[in-house]
């Protein structure tokens, strides 16, 4: 993998911080009242009851399908769930849940997460269940 950031290809680090400007724009549109994925390692957002308007940038590792399913279930309770996720259209969770979303917004180009020097080597997408 040479000079490419190896951590972006693995689940060694699951807490990729949302780019501030992206979050601010979405918050201005949706007025989030809950984030089930805060940077607290002891918090379990999968086990908690979510708010009415949720921003979710889940861990991008092997557990991402559980987060997508939880978000879909929260949506069925009448809540709004806005995901920032990798665009992985070949996965089971994409076909089982994401295709049922009210809006799918593909992000042009690649995002640059938190303190990373390089952009992510994968495309990202905003998925909205409202």
Q: Give the pLDDT confidence of 90-113 residue by residue, as tens digits.
A: 999 999 999 999 999 999 999 988
Domain count, the chain: 1
Q: Is residue 73 part of a domain?
A: yes
Q: The pTM is what?
A: 0.87
SS3 67: helix
Whether residue 56 contacts residue 38, with contact meaning beta carbons closer than 8 Å, is answered with no
66 assigned to some structural domain: yes
CB 74 within 8 A of CB 50: yes
Domain-embedded: residue 122: yes
Residue 18: inside a domain:
no
Q: Is the pLDDT of residue 2 over 80?
A: no
Is residue 53 included in any domain, yes or no? yes
- The residue length of the chain stands at 130
């Amino acid at each position: 993998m040479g000079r490419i950031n190896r951590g972006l290809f693995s689940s060694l680090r699951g807490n990729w911080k949302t780019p501030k400007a992206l979050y601010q724009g979405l918050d201005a549109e949706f007025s989030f009242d809950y984030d089930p994925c805060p940077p607290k390692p002891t918090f379990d957002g999968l086990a908690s009851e979510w708010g009415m308007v949720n921003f979710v940038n889940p861990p991008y590792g092997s557990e991402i399908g559980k987060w997508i399913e939880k978000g879909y279930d929260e949506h069925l309770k009448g809540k709004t769930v806005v995901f920032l996720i990798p665009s992985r259209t070949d996965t089971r969770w994409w076909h089982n849940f994401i295709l049922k979303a009210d809006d799918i917004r593909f992000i042009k180009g690649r995002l640059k997460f938190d303190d990373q020097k390089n952009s992510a080597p994968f495309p990202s997408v905003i998925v909205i269940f409202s």
